[in-house]
Amino acid sequence: MQPRTPLVLCVLLSQVLLLTSAEDLDCTPGFQQKVFHINQPAEFIEDQSILNLTFSDCKGNDKLRYEVSSPYFKVNSDGGLFALRNITAVGKTLFVHARTPHAEDMAELVIVGGRDIQGSLQDIFKFARTSPVPRQKRSIVVSPILIPENQRQPFPRDVGKVVDSDRPERSKFRLTGKGVDQEPKGIFRINENTGSVSVTRTLDREVIAVYQLFVETTDVNGKTLEGPVPLEVIVIDQNDNRPIFREGPYIGHVMEGSPTGTTVMRMTAFDADDPATDNALLRYNIRQQTPDKPSPNMFYIDPEKGDIVTVVSPALLDRETLENPKYELIIEAQDMAGLDVGLTGTATATIMIDDKNDHSPKFTKKEFQATVEEGAVGVIVNLTVEDKDDPTTGAWRAAYTIINGNPGQSFEIHTNPQTNEGMLSVVKPLDYEISAFHTLLIKVENEDPLVPDVSYGPSSTATVHITVLDVNEGPVFYPDPMMVTRQENISVGSVLLTVNATDPDSLQHQTIRYSVYKDPAGWLNINPINGTVDTTAVLDRESPFVDNSVYTALFLAIDSGNPPATGTGTLLITLEDVNDNAPFIYPTVAEVCDDAKNLSVVILGASDKDLHPNTDPFKFEIHKQAVPDKVWKISKINNTHALVSLLQNLNKANYNLPIMVTDSGKPPMTNITDLRVQVCSCRNSKVDCNAAGALRFSLPSLLLLSLFSLACL
């Protein structure tokens, strides 16, 4: 049996328990006052106390720590709030976070008359203004843990504590979630006996801003007794990221003469810090302008939006009078709402003053002179203009038009894309004898229309005087080509025609002489004085120099100028056919077997160089037979072919058979050609013509060749 506890000790223990319970019931962890109102002073003075805050965790405030939402303030260990430097504007609200291993709470300081710089940090701390701090009497007491990013060694360090007043003996705390047993693993851990939560390394809010963890109690076997209960770890932002301009290059355009206040472009930077804090609250300004003329302040940037606008009068935005139509601005973005302690980032904005067509092109002189030889084509003069607008735009590029003096469309004008000059060209040869002078009126305009208050003046038109120079032109044949029709075989010396060439230089009294230039067959002669053309040889339609019954010759006409000029004329002679070619047969050799059952020898074809009707139908006959009658026979197949056959077999030998063929001309022409027939010995599919001195052609082969020729015709 256990010894009985003395009565005095029991009484004392009862009194202690009663006192402890009464204290727990009367004490609420947290700030005694959660909301304060202070008036915005002209300036918060460094190290000057602003107010005192009272916080209690009902456990003696061991290891009490304070954190202020603004980096310009601090709370000392006694709860006094004071400024770290002289400062005028801090916003409308400050938040103070107090924490011990046993409890934590948030107090709000409302600055009456303060300027709103950024959103409330309650969004970060996840506290509502009236949210009560959990009482430690709950089974598992879990409050959000706030950890500043970028903390330095030593690690691990305690950042909070989980309390379980009803935890059974030998039970343990267990922490899970992303950052513990999930990637990134090992950042947080919990003392399984005391519930102290510690962090093992530096945190980066820009990587992970909030960690969602879970706490539970387990028995010695790892079985969950209570929980899991959510535990939120919030990483408090530090101003550790500079503003960055990520969308460059930044190029803006503004039209010259634009009104004051014209928006040119917008510059916006990015800050990776918490957008709910001043750490990411950016302000913009122009650090430098190049060039700084005609005013060092040509532009203004909205400090909050980043809009760049013009601030000079339209007269100063005259592109033609500016030293350089391109401005470069160094734009600075600064966080902490532009306060001196803020981090900065810069970028270059390039602003182009765009041209508008406020200057009309003007000819450099009122009149231009040009000379051109008659008969020539091409550029004769370049017309120069001046234009003050931007050479890279349609406000500078010129377009020329001939508005008078070009009824025959002999002239054209085009713009030289490099020099902007007007290139005046002759496109149809000019004739001195018709007109020795031409006067053109030309206007110039821009590709782009002029602005409403500018118009084209007298300087936008010019006169061009063109002088045509006389040139000794060659005589011209008329007609050209010259055409005659004659029968072939006309007698030598026959006159074909008299050519006619005239000199275009009507104002020059010159004589013309003629000569043969090209006469491929050498058939023609021309009288050098009067141009009469006659024949020097027989004209043959079947000559290789004749193409489709037409013979072509060229003649020259040469004037008496100095130097002389030459003209060329073409003569086309159409030759009519005469029956002057006898027909001929093919083939002229044939073979036949001495014991052939088919006595057909060969199919003959006939051809004639003449034209119809001096060709077919042809008449085929055997002129003479060197063997007894009734041995050879020739039969008509069609107008151009006939079949030669035997009436009986012949002995092996060579035979010459005269074939007479006559065309249908009037009068007809006849040709006699020997057909050489070889009678061969044909045994066992072998053809032997040696004894007959014959060629090695079989009769079937010759018949097949003849039939092929017949089919082709």
pLDDT of residue 116: 56
Q: Report the C-alpha gap between 209 and 187 in whole angstroms.
A: 13
Q: Report the C-alpha gap between 705 and 586 in whole angstroms.
A: 11
Q: Report the C-alpha gap between 417 and 165 in whole angstroms.
A: 91
Pairing mode, strands 145-148 and 224-236? parallel
Phi, psi of 610 (to 5 degrees): -75, 175
Structure tokens at 48: 């000057």
pLDDT of residue 701: 41
**How many domains are there within the chain?**
6
Expressed as residue numbers, the domain containing 390 is 360-467
> Residue 22 is which amino acid?
A
pLDDT of residue 256: 93
Identify whether residues 553 and 483 lie together within a single domain. Answer: yes
Do 255 and 206 contact (CB within 8 A), yes or no? no
Residue 127: inside a domain: no
CA angle, residues 550, 552, 553, in degrees to nearest 5 = 150
Identify whether residues 270 and 230 lie together within a single domain. Answer: no
Residues 6+ apart with CB under 8 A from 15: none
Q: What is the largest CA-CA distance in the chain?
A: 180
CA angle, residues 237, 159, 91, in degrees to nearest 5 = 35
Residue 141: inside a domain: no
DSSP-assigned beta bridge partners for residue 570: 554
Residue 170, Ramachandran bin (φ over 0: left; ψ between -120 and 50: alpha; else beta): left
Identify whether residues 567 and 590 lie together within a single domain. Answer: no
Distance of CA 22 to the CA centre of its chain: 84
Do 415 and 399 contact (CB within 8 A), yes or no? yes
Phi, psi of 280 (to 5 degrees): -120, 10
Q: Which of 93, 110, 127 is the last residue of a domain?
A: 110
Residues 6+ apart with CB under 8 A from 20: none
Identify whether residues 252 and 336 lie together within a single domain. Answer: yes
> In the chain, which residues have pLDDT < 70?
1-26, 115-138, 625-629, 691-713
Q: Report the C-alpha gap between 360 and 398 in whole angstroms.
A: 10
Neighbours of 458 (CB within 10 A): 9
Write the pLDDT tens digit of every residue in 112-135.
877 655 444 444 444 333 334 443
Pairing mode, strands 263-266 and 307-310? antiparallel
Write the pLDDT tens digit of every residue in 136-194.
344 788 888 999 999 988 999 999 988 887 788 889 999 999 999 999 999 999 999 99
Q: Which of 83, 110, 137 is the last residue of a domain?
A: 110
Identify whether residues 588 and 679 lie together within a single domain. Answer: yes
| Size (the chain), residues | 713
Q: Which of 555, 574, 593 is the last residue of a domain?
A: 574
- Name the burial class of residue 313, with classes exposed (0-12), middle (13-18) and buried (19+) by CB atoms within 10 angstroms of its CB: exposed
Identify whether residues 343 and 398 lie together within a single domain. Answer: no
Residue 453: inside a domain: yes
Write the pLDDT tens digit of every residue in 280-326.
999 999 999 999 999 999 999 999 999 999 999 999 999 999 989 99
Residue 421: inside a domain: yes
Structure tokens at 611: 């034209």
Q: Report the C-alpha gap between 361 and 459 in whole angstroms.
A: 8
Do 653 and 618 contact (CB within 8 A), yes or no? no
DSSP-assigned beta bridge partners for residue 402: 442
Residue 398: inside a domain: yes
Identify whether residues 340 and 387 lie together within a single domain. Answer: no
Residue 692: inside a domain: no
Identify whether residues 368 and 461 lie together within a single domain. Answer: yes
Helix (H, G, I), strand (E, B) or coil at 712: helix
CATH number of the domain where residue 295 is located:
2.60.40.60
Structure tokens at 214: 């879970």
- Name the burial class of residue 504, with classes exposed (0-12), middle (13-18) and buried (19+) by CB atoms within 10 angstroms of its CB: buried
pLDDT of residue 691: 53
Residue 160: inside a domain: yes
CA angle, residues 374, 378, 380, in degrees to nearest 5 = 80
Residue 119: inside a domain: no
Identify whether residues 98 and 159 lie together within a single domain. Answer: no
Identify whether residues 248 and 344 lie together within a single domain. Answer: yes
Identify whether residues 40 and 74 lie together within a single domain. Answer: yes
Identify whether residues 382 and 404 lie together within a single domain. Answer: yes
